[in-house]
Amino acid sequence: MTIKSSVTSTAFSRRGFLGFAAAAASAPLLAACGGGSASQSGGGSGVIKFWDMPWATPAYNDAAKKIAEGYAPASGNLKASYQTIQWNNFYQTFSSAIASKTGPAVSTGGGFQAFQFAQQGQIAYADKVVDDLKKNGMYDDFLPGVLDPFKSDKGYVAVPWQLDMRVFWYRKSLFEKAGVALPTDWPTLLEAGKALKKVGAFGFTTGSGAGNNYGNHSMIMMMVNNGGGVFTKDGELDVMNDRNVEAIEFILELVSNGIVDPAAVSYTTDNMSAQWKDKKAGFGLFQVNVPQRVGDTSGDLLVADPITGPHGDKATIVFPNNIMMYTNTPSQASSEAFLVAYLGQLKELWRQKLMSALPVFKSITELPEFASDPNNVKIVNDWQPIAKTFASQGNTLNANLAVLDGGQALNQFTQTILTGKTDAKSALQTFQSGLQSVLKK
Amino acid sequence: MSAVVHAHPQSGPVLGVTGKPNRALSDAGLRGRWWRFALILAITAVVLVPIMVTVVLAVTPGPTSTATGFTLENFGSVFSETLASTWLQNSLITTLSTVTVAVAVAAPAGYVLSRGRSKAVSGYSLLLFVMQSLPIITSVVPLFILFAGMGLVDNLMGLTIIYVGSTMTVATWMMAAYFDSIPISLEEASWIDGCSVFGSFTKVVLRNSLPGVLSTAIFAFLLAWNDYLVAIVFLRSTEIFTLPMGVQSFFQQNQTDWTSVMALAVVMMLPPIIVFAALNKYFSVGGIGGSLAGR
Amino acid sequence: MALTTAQTGLSRARRGVAPGGSGKPANRKSKLSSQTRKTFFWLLLPSVVLLVLIHGYPLVYAGVQATHDGSLLDTGEFVGLENFANVLSSEAFWKAARFTLLFTIVGVFGSWLLGLGLALLLRTKIPAGGLFKVLLLLPWVVPVVVSSTAWNWLVGTPDSLIPSIFRNLGLGTPLFLADPTLAAITVMVFKVWISFPFMMMMTSAALASVDTTVYEAASMDGASRWQQFSQLTLPLIARSTYISWILMTIFCVNDFPTIYLLTGGGPVDATTSLVVLAYRTVFQDFQTGPGVAIAFLMTITLVVVSVILYRQIRKSSVE
């Protein structure tokens, strides 16, 4: 019992621990109240930190890095540094960096990230950048309607730089094999699906497995294609409208007819790409540059025509990816100067064919390297003009859309529909109450 | 009595399947042996299917390759086109530092837990468990904020500290369990010879704890080697990625090039396999479980 | 009789390691006390510092988050236990709790049974036994990032290898990840696959430390193999077994990548465990307070279970 008694009589460990605990307890409050020191500001050693995402292959990031680091500022302005941030857990990465004042001064990122951080007072508004773009003529080069979604009552939260479009693709040889015409509206979509099924292919390719949002996008796209959507013009939640019910009933019909792959509910983006590559996918919603992505550039994979809804509506959805600036910068003027210069260099990325999204500038869509691909031209001419954002009927974006895009409510809704064991109204009802509980008023 | 039995385990039959150990094998025993061999071969084959998939893809010619059949060129391209060798080096540095420091922290603490059987000490032993039960996903953000203040983010040292912290709790338990199996009479003898408590800990106890230290080290090794949830928030620069981060980022950007992805995955599997193969014999003589069993 | 004496002898040996032993001279005791106290303080200090830094601080931070209506960036307003009340009254929480329970039970006992069986097999003389031992550790050693991809490749689509085998055997085409029930089973099998090597290693090592002379005594007494196993082997490794159960319980309850990388929690929540739910609530729904509250509730439950099992360990060493 020697040692036992020797320790019982000491309180060192416990008291010591409590002291530590008390010290630690005060720390999160300080950190959370934004009590960081100025010495750790975003630029660190007087550089504009630019954070970018892996938007495409590593060659993309190499090229973007070259642009950012090759930027030669006018006198008095700071140079820029380039950093790639992984998509996995990116919200965690940005949040923790911003909270600790080690975040970027300028960044790309999630489609609605700028609105989320603006809500928390971390975004530097881009009105001055927009003014500069007006002066140098680039403002007039924007494709129609791409800048408007970023205008909030406090100013522009970000500036768009690429459009992540959702468009229908098809495999020509499968349609020939099935002996059916390309769909132009919903009834012909159903018909084509049935015909494709007979040749062992699927007429509405999608997926909502781990980390795959294309299924979610298919749902919203069909709602929007029918003149519906999740929000009204004024940004009010409006899930249960008749157009949505009709759209979801149609998707359920596709599911029950076996036109949607029964395993689609668990498909990752890789599984989806494989379906396209392996000639299992005849028709379906996907991104720009599908042939390159799935690895079949034989010319058999083509962009389809937009489809008309039962009430004559024609629409798809688009995610305008954007570049935002943060309040935590060594020099706001330098952030702005860098952003304007960077936007001016974007064409290089399309010229080198590194992007799998549409450019936001007309002049880039006219580059021979871009326009030589008929799929691209078709998307710019036929799809971009009818594209709406996740705000559906509304014009501006907001932070709530981040909750809609990546959140659990939409994902569960999509998976419920894709498994087909439900009716449209009750699924939409659950979706609506799920959204209500997480949306900030 | 003493517990020396546990520090020096002997081998022998458990289910009594081979009867008395020293008797020559009968025909039945021999047949049983081959039956068991067949059984374990079958189980191993089934269990290893997912791993064989990985390996087979890694040696399959890639989409742009002209080679046919078996090829090692994916490994070549992974090392020449990515920072794989840097990532490998970073992972080794982080993992080995974690292992060293974790053992250096856990061994003394485990000794106190083992020898100081008081309420406070066993309370601390339980506290170790309680504290580590919070899932890492909720800890990462506060830890990042804390470490950013100390300039320890995007930095292998910061990562190592977190790995040490997260292995330390279980490691301390494992060490304590092993020390329990070392008879206190050994220390008592050294105390009488004039050794201090610390002296007898290092010179007598630690010296006799190789299996315990090794199993703790293995545990720390695997945790640090395989983590990517912490790394993904703490590391930014590609040149200081650890391998899981590298594999992860490579996965995302090369989705159609499965063969290279799998080649990188195989590279990642090798070091732990080498470690296990090299240390295999220590496990049979009381690895993690043996040390815990002796507690 | 021999059995009981052997058992008593061993259990005495198991706990006989308790330090201190019997009486010591009183004067030496007091001298050692102060010296020991100081040494113990220094020996324990690094671990205490790390515990506070790496575990204590985030725990306190999480406590603040769970009782506030804030985001990752600002604390927000204090709302008391409202987040906990909301979480406890939500259907999603209980569904995830049920799945976590099932996942943990299957994960712990599935991997234990398989690990125990293999450890017993490997304990006997088998050609190339050492090689098998290393090969069978692989599922635990391979990073989950890699193995989840390999598993997806095997079961992900109707044309993947394993569904194709089922189809060729005339068993239909099971959708291992798309059917809610099958997806739950697949995730659990995946977890058992990852975990059994750990259990095998624990059990192997525990078996190795058992004194074999007790078996000779037992078989002389005419105990059957099953009797030897259930009355000797199992009790002798009970302590190690309990510890491996505790560790595996924690590994299963806290497991994020296994589930998240294979199914993402779907289809329709069929494989959403509490950690996955907490993660999605915090980082996808941006509901920091409720999400952290889920993690907290989970931690509390885990601690209670650990303490119960911990008591079992102490009992098993005193009996």
pLDDT recorded at residue A280 = 94
Q: Is C20 helix (H, G, I), strand (E, B) or coil?
A: coil
3-state secondary structure chain B: CCCHHHHCCCCCCCCCCCCCCCCCCCHHHHHHHHHHHHHHHHHHHHHCHHHHHHHHHHCCCCCCCCCCCCCCHHHHHHHHHCCHHHHHHHHHHHHHHHHHHHHHHHHHHHHHHHHCCCHHHHHHHHHHHHHCCCCHHHHHHHHHHHHHHCCCCCCHHHHHHHHHHHHHHHHHHHHHHHHHCCCHHHHHHHHHCCCCHHHHHHHHHHHHCHHHHHHHHHHHHHHHHHCCCCHHHHCCCHHHCCHHHHHHHHHHHCCCCHHHHHHHHHHHHHHHHHHHHHHHHHHHCCCHHHHHHCC
Closest-CA residue to B70 (of B251, B259, B250, B255)? B259
Same domain, A279 and A411: yes
Is residue A68 located within the same domain as residue A138? yes
Beta-carbon contacts of residue B52 (< 8 Å; ≥ 6 apart) = none
Strands A316-326 and A387-388: parallel
**Does ipTM top 0.90?**
no
Give the rounded percent of residues in chain C with a pLDDT score beyond 90.
26
Half-sphere exposure (Cβ direction) of A285: Cα atoms closer than 13 Å: 28
B268 pLDDT more than 90:
no
* Per-residue model confidence as pLDDT tens digits over A145-203: 899 889 988 999 999 999 999 999 999 999 999 999 999 999 999 999 999 999 999 99
Strands A106-107 and A48-52: parallel
- The rounded distance, in Å, linking the Cα atoms of B225 and C211 is 35
Among C24, C159, C264, select the one facing A210 at the smallest CB separation.
C264
CA distance A274 to C306: 44
C3, C15, C17, C176: best to mutate for the B interface, most B CBs within 10 A: C17
Q: Which two tokens stand for residue C113?
A: 């049974």
Cα(C271)–Cα(C274) distance, integer angstroms: 10
Q: Is the peptide bond before A330 cis (omega within 30 degrees of 0)?
A: no
Q: Where are the beta strands (DSSP E) in A335-426?
A: 358-359, 387-388
Q: Is the pLDDT confidence value at B93 over 60?
A: yes
Closest residue on chain C to B258 (Cα): C149
Q: Are residues A194 and A333 in the same domain?
A: no
Fold classification of C91-318 is: MetI-like fold (1.10.3720)
For residues C97 and C105, the answer to whether their CB atoms sit within 8 Å is: no
Alpha helical stretches, state H, chain C = 2-16, 26-50, 57-66, 82-88, 91-105, 111-123, 129-141, 144-155, 161-168, 180-208, 213-220, 225-227, 234-236, 238-253, 257-262, 274-283, 288-318
**CA gap B70, B203 in Å, rounded:** 53
What span, in angstroms and rounded, lies between the C-alpha atoms of A157 and C97? 40
Q: The dihedral of CA A247, A252, A258, A264: what is its sign?
A: positive
Q: Are C157 and B57 in contact, with CB atoms under 8 Å apart?
A: no
Query: What pLDDT is attached to residue B255?
Result: 61
pLDDT reading at B7 higher than 70: no
Half-sphere exposure of C76 (CA within 13 A, CB side): 20
Q: For the stretch C48-69, what's the b/e string if a residue is b when 16 or more beta carbons lie within 10 angstroms of its beta carbon?
A: bebbbbbbbbbbbbbbbbbbbb
Looking at the structure, tell me whether residues A422 and A381 fall in a common domain: no
Place of tokens 């076996």: A258
Structure tokens at B145: 């904020």
- Phi, psi for residue A142 in degrees, rounded to 5: -60, 140
Q: Alpha helices, DSSP H only, in A257-330?
A: 269-277, 290-294
Side-by-side strand order, sheet with A167-171:
A283-286, A167-171, A301-303
* Minimal C-alpha gap between A8 and chain B (Å): 5
- pLDDT band, residue A441 (cuts 50/70/90): low
**Which pLDDT score is estimated for A163?**
93
pLDDT at B65 over 50: yes
* pLDDT greater than 60 at residue A15: no
Overall number of domains in chain A? 2
Question: Any alpha helices (H) in A82-147, and if so which ranges?
Answer: 90-99, 113-119, 127-136
Non-local CB neighbours of A273 within 8 Å, separated by 6+ positions: A293, A294, A295, B255, B256
Tell me which range, A11-20, A260-269, B118-127, B136-145, is most confidently predicted by mean pLDDT. A260-269
Rounded to the nearest integer, the mean pLDDT of chain C is 81
A348 falls in which pLDDT band (50, 70, 90)? Answer: very high
Rounded Cα distance, A347 and A144, in Å: 18
Q: Cα(C154)–Cα(C196) distance, rounded to whole angstroms?
A: 20
Residue C57 has, within 13 A of its CA and on its CB side, a CA count of: 27
Report d(CA C54, CA B161) in Å as an integer.
Answer: 8
Distance CA A239, CA C181 (A): 29
Of B22, B42, B13, B294, residue with least CA distance to C120: B13
Q: Is the CB of A16 less than 8 angstroms away from the CB of C48? A: yes
Ramachandran region of residue B31, left (φ > 0), alpha (ψ -120 to 50) or beta?
alpha
- Averaged pLDDT, A262-273: 91
Tell whether the model's pLDDT for residue B4 goes beyond 60: no
The angle formed by the CA atoms of residues B156, B159 and B164, to the nearest 5 degrees, is 120
SS3 A199: coil
DSSP state of C157: S
Whole domain around residue A277: which residue ranges?
A: 167-286+407-438
pLDDT of res. B21? 44
C window 173-232, beta carbon within 8 A of B: 193, 201-212, 215-216, 218-219, 225, 228-229
Q: What is the pLDDT of residues C7-28, one digit of tens each?
A: 333 233 333 333 333 333 333 3
Q: How far is A108 from chain B (nearest CA, A)?
A: 15
Contact (CB<8Å) A34/C267: no
Helix (H, G, I), strand (E, B) or coil at A283: strand
Cβ <8 Å between A27 and B146: yes
The mean per-residue pLDDT over the stretch C254-263 comes to 89
Give the model's pLDDT for residue C317. 58
B17/C62 CB distance under 8 A:
no
Buried b (16+ CB within 10 A) or exposed e, A50-72: bbbbbbbbbebbebbbebbeebe
pLDDT-above-70 percentage for chain B: 81
Which distant-in-sequence residues (6+ apart) come within 8 Å of B20 by Cβ? Answer: C216, C219
Query: So what's the pLDDT on residue A76?
Result: 86
Say if strands A283-286 and A80-84 run parallel, antiparallel, or are unpaired: unpaired
Domain identity same for A147 and A186: no
CA separation for the pair A126, C50 (Å, rounded): 44
* Cβ partners under 8 Å of residue A409, min gap 6: A403, A431, A434, A435, A438, C285
Chain A segment 232-261 residues within 8 A of C by beta carbon are: 261
Q: What are phi and psi of A316, to 5 degrees?
A: -135, -175
Preferred mutation among A266, A278, A426, A439 to probe C, highest tally of C CBs within 10 A: A266
Angle between helices B119-131 and C26-50 (to 10 degrees): 10
Rounded CA-CA distance C53/C254 in Å is 20
Tens-digit pLDDT profile for residues A375-404: 999 999 999 999 998 887 777 788 888 888
C32 vs A contacts (CB less than 8 Å):
2-3, 6
A269 touching C (Cβ < 8 Å): no
- A419 in any annotated domain: yes
- Backbone torsions φ then ψ of A56, nearest 5 degrees: -150, -150
The residues that bridge with A387 in the sheet, in sequence order, are A316
Retrieve residue C164's tokens: 């194709």
Tell whether the model's pLDDT for residue A107 goes beyond 90.
Answer: yes
Q: Decide if B254 touches A, using CB distance below 8 A.
A: yes
Q: Residue A265: is its pLDDT beyond 90?
A: yes
Tokens at C93, concatenated = 């929480």
C-alpha closest to that of A54 among A326, A407, A360, A357: A357
pTM of the model: 0.83
User: In sequence order, which residues have a C-beta less than 8 Å from that of residue C131 and are 6 or more positions away?
Assistant: none
pLDDT at residue A285 in the model: 96
pLDDT, one tens digit per residue, over C70-122 is 877 777 888 888 899 999 999 899 999 999 999 999 999 999 999 999 999 98
Nearest CA to CA, how far is A381 from chain C (Å)?
34
Residues A197 and A253 in one domain: yes
Stretch A308-328: mean pLDDT: 94
C51/C46 Cα distance (integer angstroms) = 8
pLDDT, position A256: 95
* Mean local confidence (pLDDT), A402-411: 86
**Where residue A245 sits, what CATH number does that domain have?**
3.40.190.10
**Same-domain check for residues A159 and A177:** no
- Whether A367 and A350 have beta carbons less than 8 Å apart is answered as yes
Above 80 in pLDDT, residue B267?
A: yes
Give all chains having 3 or more CB-to-CB distances under 8 Å with chain A.
Answer: B, C
Position C201 pLDDT exceeds 70: yes
Amino acid identity for residue C107 in this structure: G
Residue A345 has pLDDT above 80, yes or no: yes
Question: Are residues A252 and A327 located together in one domain of the fold?
Answer: no
Put simply, whether B236 touches A (Cβ < 8 Å) is yes
Distance CA(A213)–CA(C195), nearest Å, equals 30
Query: CA-CA distance, C3 to C5, in Å (whole number)?
Result: 6
A12, part of any domain: no
Residue C5 reports pLDDT greater than 70: no
Do A51 and A134 belong to one domain? yes
Assigned domain for A25 exists: no
pLDDT given at position A360: 95
| Shortest CA distance from C217: residue in chain B | B20
Average pLDDT over residues A257-261: 95
Element (H, E) at A25: helix A12-32
* pLDDT grade for B133, boundaries at 50, 70 and 90: confident
> Out of B53, B273, B277, whose CB is closest to C153?
B53
The whole-angstrom separation of Cα A362 and Cα A143 is 6
The pLDDT of residue B64 is: 67
At B38-48, the pLDDT tens digits run 999 999 999 99
